[in-house]
Structure 1
């Protein structure tokens, strides 16, 4: 906030100030190799924060994605003009986020991609290829008829499942995010 004030830029509520020097340098290096720059904003419905453990447990997360395309030719070449363009873009992103917070959706047409059979076939192919040795081993254990071997294998599967979930749970961050721009969070600290 202090940097925005010192540079005479509007304060952003939901975003950090963009790193204009890095952006302009990167853009100059990419001219001729890329055709466009994409601005992507992702929000999850009901302010849910997806976690790896939630995904492993099969929890569904619904998300909205706003994508805008800017042809490289339309972005100014001059460093100062490019920096101004980027600051304006971030002001628009902040306004877009504000609108999403109020209405629960992005403005404009809603596009829902169709489910594709290819995605399912691709998943099934790789799952079959990678899991076939484990499935073959499990089948061999079951047809062996040895109760001790079957019980041992079942215990191994349960312990492995619990261990993976515990390891994923340990990596989760409990803090809800940055307190950047949040006056109340700064007062609590």
Structure 2
């Protein structure tokens, strides 16, 4: 199979997965490492979007970061980071899609966190960073199709996470368009 993601894309997936996690108190100690990684991003526009987000994080109290994150990603279903929710809502079909994604993880040897559903965007990004071209990953490509709409919503609202989601959409877009049949067939 042809490699869709570059090594730089994989590094950015790992970074974006980290930045899209709930803001923890440990963020302050990890920001120096994150800033170093951002400086290795070879695309100037992407690097600037990441710098802008990090400036926001560094200038915002942790409690406010946590409130902003929770309001957007935990309390608003329209911007949930659980990707299959955007495609299937809550129900039996979503449960089947989640099981299929988990199967892909296990097949590829990825040890998925047990405290999150397998369609949680930070987890999906970490998986792509470690295994960018999984075999038989149709359920995964299908759920990634929701990222562009999610990015559009956050950008429209001028949400602090809008730029990050725009980067995610840009990075995963080649995966989605390379597997267009999966969108309608599999999830």
Pair in the same fold by TM > 0.5: no
Larger Rg: 1
Measured against the shorter chain, the TM-score band is: under 0.3
Higher relative helix content: 2
Q: TM-score, normalised by structure 2?
A: 0.24
Q: TM-score, normalised by structure 1?
A: 0.24
Higher relative strand content: 1
